[in-house]
Structure 1
Amino acid sequence: MSASIDHRGLLQIEDCLDVEGNVVLPPGVTLVSLIDRNIANLGDTVAYRYLDYTGSADGRAIEWTWVQLGQRIRAIGAALQRVASLGDRVAILAPQGLDYVAGFYGAVKAGMIAVPLFAPELQGHAERLDTALRDARPAVILTTRAVAHAVEAFLVRHTYQPSPQLIVVDEIPDSVSQAFTPVDLNVDDVSHLQYTSGSTRPPVGVEITHRAVGTNLIQMILSIDLLDRNTHGVSWLPLYHDMGLSMIGFPAVYGGHSTLLAPTAFLRRPERWIRALSDESRRGRVVTAAPNFAYEYAAQRGLPAAGENIELRNVVMIVGSEPVNMDAITTFAAAFAPYGLPETAIKPSYGIAEATLFVSTIAPDAVPTVVHLDRAQLAEGRAVPVAPDAKTALPQVSCGQVARSQWAVIVDPDAHVELADGRVGEIWLHGDNVARRYWARPEESRQTFNAKLRSRLAAGSHAQGAAADAAWMRTGDLGMYLDGELYVTGRRADVVVVDGRQHYPHDIEDTVAEASAMVRRGYVAAFGIDDDDVVIIAERASGTRRADPAPAIAAIRTAVADVHGLSVADIRFVPAGSIPRTTSGKLARRACREQYLRGEVRE
């Protein structure tokens, strides 16, 4: 970054804190105002870089400066103003890239509500795309030349009322920017609808305001200690996902830049992610984020070639998944320690779309930690530590401390009373980063975003500082506090209940994967049917297509009975790729269960 840059014109963290250190956005701060500041003060420095691997194995770097980004945003905004009105929804159906970034910000700058989605080329998710479009009812769809034909074909197959206009953003000339009419945005205006991943229910649109975005990004910067201006981002996460979107929001707040890759570029060659991190690590601090599987996958298939000069000493890596897996962390850490990866680099974290994203993480100087809890006691809602080698031991990774000016309480979901530390309950959230409501779902919004605590702990309440009549957001996630740190144990909707006892599906799935080499690790779905029956669907591991599943099924039955005390009603082995997953890569257990009940699971 050039020495001539005047950092005084950028957003200052101290301006976002009140006298007590609480996060309070200054008046008039929106995503658009932050970008305008960066254009004025950072000018010709890089805002976003996209590594394009479509035509080259080595990748082609496409860079936009803040000035160039600003021009593209105004041009797209002007094109939108010709065909749509303030508050209209603008859906982005485009591939990963800088045009996607500009389309998102262009919609917001025009005073409309961005709806980050994906092009129909994303295999297996046409139903989710159709659901989101019918729900959001966009006035305009933004796309690019590369996928315009596929988007048009999708719109022919699916009729929407009103019929949206289609704009191809990379066909809008820069000169159109001169026609842009400035819009007076309010900090409590909705900037975008974030559609949930649909892991436990159909996707719904979460209304995210400018206040929520700004607050949450400041909370993230403070929690992870990203105060150094020479901090940049690297991300291959899809831009329609909350975690991916946050990686393009970070530079807007603090003036750094982000390097983006396509998810497919990472999946084909995970070393590309590592190489991009290494390049940025040589320039300064670099932050990235990914779910569990990405760390395991990179450790297996993303190791540098012999003699390759990889440098990871300035990397901060957020791992956020439900729940965070310690094996993924230790495997990755061991694989990349020889390249300078600090033991404090990996940050197990908790986030949720309804909180914009970020809720908690471990301290900047902390290393990931795990406690081992008695499985039977945990099924009863109590966290009782046991030795790591105990037969009943179930590992749980700490997600650290809740972000500043955000509250997370553990609540009895039926009685609505706060539970003491060491007790498992539903996680409820409160803070300016929490979304306003679900789009067009008043009753579901009331139930989720307007929960009331009937009582708090007399001492040690995690609600301390929140107003007595505060509205709380019910996450649907289960968790607990132990020694001052937050642990996430699973989703309420996924819990398997047998004879009144709760069993976490990911725990059963881990047991299944350990029981037989025929199981493709990470591709197992366990769920309940009827009252007490448990069903397991497992994808076959590579090279086992012709193997007789009978011995594996027997081994799985024995292991699940021995570890969990459960009798499994049915076990099915299916080909790789059969188990449905969400657009963010999570197991879609609900969808798998529905397929099973409809008789659509094919062995």
Structure 2
Amino acid sequence: MDYGSRQDSAAPKGLLLIEDCLDATGNIALPPGTTLISLIQRNVANVGDATAYRYLEHARSEGHVLEVTWAQLGVRLQAIGARVQKFAGDGDRVAILAPQGIDYVAGFYAAIKAGTIAVPLFAPELPGHAERLETALLDSEPTAVLTTAAAKDSVESFLDGVPRLRRPHVVVIDQIPDSEGERFAPVELGVDQVSHLQYTSGATRPPAGVEITHRAVGTNLVQMILSIDLLNRNTHGVSWLPLYHDMGLSMIGFPAVYGGHSTLMSPTAFVRRPQRWIQALAAGSREGRVVTAAPNFAYEWTAQRGLPAPGDDVDLSNVVLIIGSEPVSIDAMTAFNKAFAPYGLPRTAFKPSYGIAEATLMIATIDHDAVASVAYFDREQLSAGHAVRVAAGAPNAVAHVSCGRIARSLSAVIVDPDTGAELADGAIGEVWLQGDNVGRGYWGRPEETRLTFGATLRSRLREGSHAEGSKPDRTWLRTGDLATYLDGELYIAGRIADLIVIDDRHYYPQDIEATAAEATPMVRRGYVTAFAVPADEASADAAAGSPRLVIIAERAAGTSRDDPQPAIEAIRAAVPHRHGLTVFDVRFLPAGAIPRTTSGKLARVACRAQYLGGAFGAP
């Protein structure tokens, strides 16, 4: 395919062309010296008057728009970077603890421009995540913290409450005059230099800072552009995703490659009124192609609460919807498609995708012109580690959404995690990765880095190996995710850490959680967790040493005063019938009680720990 010819007509002279990023074989090879900052500087020089980022402010007035051009952003980066250089030098960490907004974007890029390592985090006002913020600060040990005038007091108060942390200098982004940029000392950035630490979500273990290099960022952005066919430069982003999340950062990253723009809003603005997201997508759709990304719950929530008001001018015909960050829910896509098909949403809009922070973000997605598809696997065979197709109506059928094909210039193999041997298509194993988009390791954790990023593939398939094209002298990244290949496409089964193992059988929590949600309307959809706990050997109703199944669910709206016992009995009947498992305990909690990560995913490991610690009362 002639990628260059598809861009030239719309590309101002001097901007990066996609063929600049490909070698003679079509593999991704970034131009020498490509960094996030070199991309921004290119945009400043060639499309300086064009909008770079637009922020929809809803806190003080509905839909107030703040904009910054590439030239204005360049001035701000120089000024903020100069102030950062007063307190931090080469390789020092600079944390961003600011509210969502253009100041956050500028602070992130300015820390990198200054030659330091950016640490995108969040302001302390984010409820329920103080422990995660403290963990990341103690781990990264920032020399300086970037914030805004509005958040300064809460940031300083939070820092005062972390006595083990060497107090970083607090820099207030929006109080730095543009004239400060005159003091900026130019820094030469290396493509293999760490640009930022991307902290993992903490869904299955304490957050760890992934060392993301400029090469990894650039490679992954090009992979995203090629995989989702964002080659038309009249493609813009719309995102409410938090900017400390890998997917949120990618949504501000791809305009840097293109010289385009992204429209941003806060996660709170979205949750309170998801119609704002739809309105922003419709506005972007009128300008050209618009791409957005979100996890399952966002699409479900929007289908419930985000329908346009009568008479609203909403046309979603140019929208691309990336769905990921957890095993993709067919129910989420179905609900959203049903709600918004009347507004021109194309059948090809949804792009089920797979990605993780350790690989910068995107690993796989479906073809740009493909419709999201579902395969049905036999539940018993899945428990035994095999994906065997069955009819959709089969009594033991489990739906799995295809995440499509692996991104260009990335190798992904399915491996027996105990032996390091590649498994044949149809077998469930751990996903291992090798490619330039893979991070360098975990900050300050050499042993964990060795175990996760230093895996060796012990054996490959003689025929049909997915390791073709990989480099034998390079190690592999162990993702911790279970998946299989079928017909060249990737299907994600779940996380190893979340796997429920009872009587030597493997059960996937999301499958059991779906059964519980279907059993009774008292369960709040998407807010139920299943996990195993050690058996009480003194208990007469459990086999000695055999783990027991626990289900924790939040109450659906309007059921706070209802007797939970009929719902508990319905779940206790449904789970054995479908999964052959006895349910030891079922708990109903008020809305918001189940712990979630900062990206909105269920934190099953944390929920299990709280249960065992007695947070939900005695069994």
Scaled by the length of structure 2, what TM-score is found?
Answer: 0.96
Q: Which residue of 1 aligns with 2:210?
A: 206
Q: Residue 56 of structure 1: CA displacement?
A: 1.5
Deviation at 1:339, TM superposition (A): 1.1
Residue by residue, what CA displacement relative to the aligned partner does 1:180-201 show, whole Å, maximum 9, x if unpaired?
A: 1110000000000000000000
Q: State yes or no: 1:233 paired with 2:237.
A: yes
The answer as to whether partners of 2:137 and 2:165 remain within 8 angstroms in 1 is no
Q: Residue 453 in 1 paired to residue 468 in 2?
A: no
Report the equivalent of 2:40. 35
**Post-superposition offset of 1:481:** 0.3
When residues 251 and 487 of structure 1 are mapped into structure 2, their CA distance, relative to the original with a 3 A threshold, is: same
Residue in 2 that maps onto 1:324 = 328
Mapped to 2, the partners of 1:10 and 1:292 lie a distance apart of: 35
Q: Which runs of 5+ in 1 are unaligned?
A: none
Cα separation, partners in 2 of 1:5 and 1:371, compared to 1, 3 Å: closer
CA contact (8 A) 1:121 1:150 kept: yes
Instruction: Establish whether residue 541 from structure 1 lines up as the match of residue 556 from structure 2.
Output: yes
| 3-state secondary structure, aligned to 1:275 | helix
Which aligned pairs between 1:101-112 and structure 2 lie closer than 5 A? 101-112=105-116
Partner of 2:593: 578
For the pair 1:224 / 2:228, whether they are aligned, the reply is yes
For 1:388-467, what aligned pairs fall within 5 Å after superposition? Answer: 388-467=392-471
What does the per-residue CA deviation read over 1:345-389, in whole Å, with 9 as the maximum and x for residues that have no partner?
110000000000000000011000001100000010101111111
1:10 — aligned with what? 15
Structure 2 contact 564–588 (Cα < 8 Å) conserved? yes
- Whether the 8 Å CA contact 1:5–1:42 is kept in 2: the answer is no
Corresponding residue to 1:90 among 59, 74, 94: 94
Q: Which of 272, 277, 297 is the aligned partner of 2:276? A: 272
Give 2:57's aligned residue.
52
Moved over 4 A (4+): 3-6
Structure 2 partner of 1:555: 570
Give 2:468's aligned amino acid: Q
Structure 2 residue matching 1:39: 3-state secondary structure: helix
Percent identical residues? 67
SS in 2 for 1:287: strand
SS at match of 1:95: coil
Question: Residue 593 of structure 1 aligns with which residue?
Answer: 608
Contact 2:512/2:575 (CA < 8 Å) preserved in 1?
A: yes
- The answer as to whether partners of 1:363 and 1:401 remain within 8 angstroms in 2 is yes
Cα distance between partner residues in 2 of 1:51 and 1:575: 32
CA displacement, residues 534-580 of structure 1 (integer Å, 9 cap, x when unaligned): 11111111111121111111110110000110011111111111100
Paired amino acid for 1:52: E
Match of 2:547 in 1: 532
Tell me the SS of whatever aligns to 2:480.
strand
Q: Distance in 2 between matches of 1:372 and 1:532?
A: 28
After superposition, the C-alpha distances for 1:476-531 in whole angstroms (9 at most, x for unaligned) are 00000011100001000000001000000011000000011111111111111114
- Could you tell me how far 1:161 is from its partner in structure 2? 4.0
Distance 1:397 1:435 in 2: 27
Aligned residues: 600
Cα deviation for residue 321 of structure 1 reads: 3.1
Contact kept, 8 Å, 2:53 with 2:67, in 1: the verdict is yes
Task: Tell me, in whole angstroms, the C-alpha distance in 1 between the residues paired with 2:564 and 2:325.
Answer: 30
Secondary structure of 2:326 counterpart: coil
Residue 4 of structure 1 deviates from its aligned partner by 12
Q: Give deviations 1:302-349, integer Å, cap 9, x for gaps.
A: 010111110111111100032000111111112111111111011000
Q: Distance in 1 between matches of 2:398 and 2:357?
A: 27
Q: Shift of residue 162 of structure 1?
A: 2.7
- Give the distance between the partners of 2:252 and 2:617, measured in 1 at CA: 40
Aligned residue number for residue 542 of structure 2: none
Distance 1:514 1:138, change over 3 A: same
Structure 2: runs of 5+ lacking an equivalent: 1-7, 535-545
- Within-5 A mapping of 1:159-558: 159-530=163-534, 531-558=546-573
- Residue 12 of structure 1 and its aligned partner are, at CA, apart by 1.1
RMSD: 1.2
SS in 2 for 1:416: coil
Alpha-carbon distance in structure 1 between the residues aligned to 2:473 and 2:113: 35
Bigger Cα displacement from structure 2, 279-288 vs 95-104: 279-288
Q: 1:99 aligns with which of 77, 99, 103?
A: 103
Letter in 2 for 1:41: N
Deviation at 1:5? Answer: 9.0
**Residues in 2 aligned to 1:60 and 1:401: alpha-carbon distance in whole angstroms:** 40
Cα distance between partner residues in 2 of 1:166 and 1:182 = 22
Deviation, 1:8, is 2.6
**Cα distance in 1 for residues equivalent to 2:462 and 2:473:** 16
Q: 1:327 to 1:78 in 2, by over 3 A?
A: same
2:48 maps to a residue whose letter is G
Shift of 1:99: 0.2
**SS where residue 146 of structure 1 aligns?**
coil
Pairing partner for 2:583 from 556, 568, 585: 568
User: Residues 166-191 of structure 1: CA distance to partner in whole angstroms, max 9, x if unpaired?
Assistant: 00100001110111111000000000
3-state SS in 2 of match to 1:141: strand
Question: What is the alpha-carbon distance in structure 1 between the residues aligned to residue 326 and residue 302 of structure 2?
Answer: 19
Distance (Å, rounded) in 2 between the aligned partners of 1:384 and 1:170: 57
Q: Which moved more, 1:158-167 or 1:435-444?
A: 158-167
> Which digits, 9 at most, give the CA deviation of each residue in 1:7-54, with x for residues without a partner?
230111101100000001110010000000000000111000000001
SS at match of 2:151: helix
Deviations 1:395-430 (A, max 9, x none): 000000000000110000001000000000000011
Q: 2:588 is aligned with what amino acid?
A: F
Alpha-carbon distance between aligned partners in 1 of 2:337 and 2:434, rounded to the nearest angstrom? 33
Q: Normalised by the size of structure 1, how large is the TM-score? A: 0.98
Q: Is the 8 A contact 1:418 1:455 kept in 2?
A: yes
Alignment-mate amino acid for residue 158 of structure 2: F
8 A contact 1:560–1:567 mirrored in 2 = yes
Q: Partner of 1:85: helix, strand, or coil? A: coil
Contact 2:96–2:118 (8 Å) recurs in 1: yes
* C-alpha separation in 1, matches of 2:250 and 2:420: 31
SS where residue 65 of structure 2 aligns?
Answer: strand
In the alignment, is residue 155 of structure 1 matched against residue 159 of structure 2? yes
For residues 284 and 134 of structure 2, what CA distance do their matches in structure 1 show?
A: 38
Distance 2:563 2:303 in 1: 30
User: What is the Cα deviation at residue 439 of structure 1?
Assistant: 0.3
Superposed displacement of residue 160, structure 1: 4.0
| CA distance in structure 2 between the partners assigned to 1:390 and 1:172 by the alignment | 64
2:134 to 91, 108, 130: 130
Q: Distance in 2 between matches of 1:194 and 1:448?
A: 16
